Structure 1
Amino acid sequence: MTRRTRRLILIGTVGAVLAVAVGLVLFALSGEITLYKTPTEIIEQPRAEGRRLRIGGLVEVGSVVRKDGGQVEFKVTDTANAVPVTYRGLLPDLFQEGQGVVAEGKLDESGLFQADTVLAKHDERYMPKEVVDALKAQGVWEEGQPGGPTPPAAKN
């Protein structure tokens, strides 16, 4: 074997090992990827039952119901559509009706989003860009508002 042939075999072997390593990493991460959706996307697109999702929007005014055992039910809305959410646990201090929220969990077959994590957001610096853009397009989000969006029921 010539020196050039050995070098080509070495480069090919290293390339193949690297490709296998990248493939294994991507396969391992595919189960951990969490898709982000707005309530309208969840309602309009085919159901993703059992798949981990993040849903973001505003907590619909008048939708928060606290039950025994620390369970809370509320609706997340982008003002066009709303998705019912159930969560068991302590809610963040900033969680309130009319404010931004991001919930992570799974959608069940009945369309109920079962969250295992809830993050309360108070302004656009911490809210996903897609939610802010959707709220601005619907005229709900006003630029420069100190506390975030005006709750839909509070607008005149």
Structure 2
Amino acid sequence: MEEVTTLSLSEVNEATDTAQARSEVLIGGISTGIIIPGKVLEGSISIDERRYLLFITDDVLFEEMLTLLLLDLSQGILEELTIGGGYTSGHFEALKVSPHSASFRFINDTTWTVKVSASPTFKISFSDPPGVSRPMGLRKYIDINANPAPAKADGSR
């Protein structure tokens, strides 16, 4: 894994009352043809020669959620997960990348750690930390952990 700065987004559709903004992924300013949900590229990591992990927000004040997208240049979006929820707000910061994982802070003092597997693994229901949501399914590439666990609305953990 390695942080990259050659990726950027070009907004295709603005956000509406009922739909998220959509953007196209560019590499070195060149179109990939891959359209993703979201507006602001907070960070990007090269997993290997064809896969990237993107950290995306929508630029919504006081209710910011972070979307993690695993992209394959030939297959498009392989996996999507979201951190946050209604009436929560976070700021993406302190991205640190090591050869096999990446960590960052989002929502108060929680440090999140992600690992991306080379092939899909079996997904166990309800195994993600509180505040993480992803589409239903039996497989996943992205493993995510939080330390300390995100605070609940009442401030408890």
Asked which structure has the greater RCO (Cα within 8 Å, sep 6+), the reply is 1
The structure that is strand-richer by fraction is: 2
User: Higher Cα Rg: structure 1 or 2?
Assistant: 1
Does TM-score exceed 0.5, indicating one fold? no
TM norm structure 2: 0.24
The TM-score normalised by the length of structure 1 is 0.25
Which is helix-richer, 1 or 2?
A: 1
